């Protein structure tokens, strides 16, 4: 009996109150909130740097899909490795060094595909199939033959390269121009995902015709 009493005395009382939680120092909660915000912004910045890019449009070669001074969000080439027909991409111009101007063009054909163009009818063929191109401003009439810079068609795109054109077909310097030709995949910076800040309305020559065209904000196809 005496032993049981000793055991009972050794056990802490169930009704014993816990010590009160000390309040945080004044301003400490605000400090933690600020620290969490900075940490979140740092993570977002790192994700954006590695997986996405920002790029502006210069010129009217992608009219009416994109216009001068549009600002774009790209899927970085860190993720974007497999270009597909119809993708809009940003790429370095020949000789593809980082000091060169960037081009924005649409992928018409990839390595192994054959491109042919009927410039009289303005129709583009890939592997013998006429492309349905609702995104172009007008049919493809410009061949660069009048400048002595035309390609010999049909053109089979080498593996690891792309045949690209602007949507403003008769006002675009692209793979039809022999000084450009097919471009290497390594020249591609990324795929255009969306217009994050649209430029002002223009015509096919790039002349401003109206205010900022907010209706084009969002995904690009």
Are 75 and 197 contacting, i.e. CB atoms less than 8 angstroms apart? no
- Helix or strand run (H / E) with residue 89: strand 88-92
Residue 109 corresponds to which tokens in the numbers above? 């054909």
Instruction: Name 111's Cβ contacts closer than 8 Å, sequence gap at least 6.
Output: 157, 158, 159, 160, 161, 162
Q: Strand 123-126 vs strand 102-110: parallel, antiparallel, or unpaired?
A: unpaired
Catalytic residue among 6, 18, 21, 61: 61
With a CB cutoff of 8 Å and minimum separation 6, the contacts of 214 are 198
The residue from 6, 13, 60, 105 that is catalytic is: 105
Structure tokens at 10: 């050794």
Q: Is 61 a catalytic residue?
A: yes
- Full DSSP string of 45-88: HHHHHHHEEEEE--SSTTTTTS-TT-EEEEEETTT-----TT-E
Catalytic residue list contains 172: no
Residues involved in catalysis: 61, 105
């Amino acid at each position: 009996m005496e032993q049981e009493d000793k055991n009972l005395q050794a056990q802490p009382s169930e009704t014993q109150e816990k010590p009160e939680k000390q309040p945080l120092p004044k301003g400490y909660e605000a400090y933690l909130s600020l620290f969490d915000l900075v940490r979140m912004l740092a993570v977002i910045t790192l994700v954006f740097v590695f997986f996405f890019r920002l790029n502006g449009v210069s010129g009217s070669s992608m009219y009416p899909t994109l216009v001068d001074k549009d600002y774009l969000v790209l899927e970085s080439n860190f993720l974007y490795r497999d270009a597909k027909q119809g993708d809009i991409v940003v790429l370095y111009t020949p000789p593809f060094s980082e000091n060169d101007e960037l081009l924005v063009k649409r992928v018409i054909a990839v390595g192994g595909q054959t491109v042919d163009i009927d410039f009289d009818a303005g129709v583009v063929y890939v592997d013998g199939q006429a492309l349905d191109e609702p995104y172009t401003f007008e049919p493809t009439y410009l061949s660069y033959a009048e400048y002595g810079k035309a390609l010999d068609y049909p053109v089979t795109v080498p593996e690891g390269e792309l045949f690209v054109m602007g949507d403003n077909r008769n006002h675009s310097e692209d793979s039809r121009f022999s000084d450009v030709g097919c471009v290497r995949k390594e020249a591609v910076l990324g795929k255009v995902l969306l217009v994050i800040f649209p430029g002002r309305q223009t015509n096919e020559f790039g002349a401003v015709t109206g205010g900022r065209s907010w209706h084009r904000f969002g995904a690009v196809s």
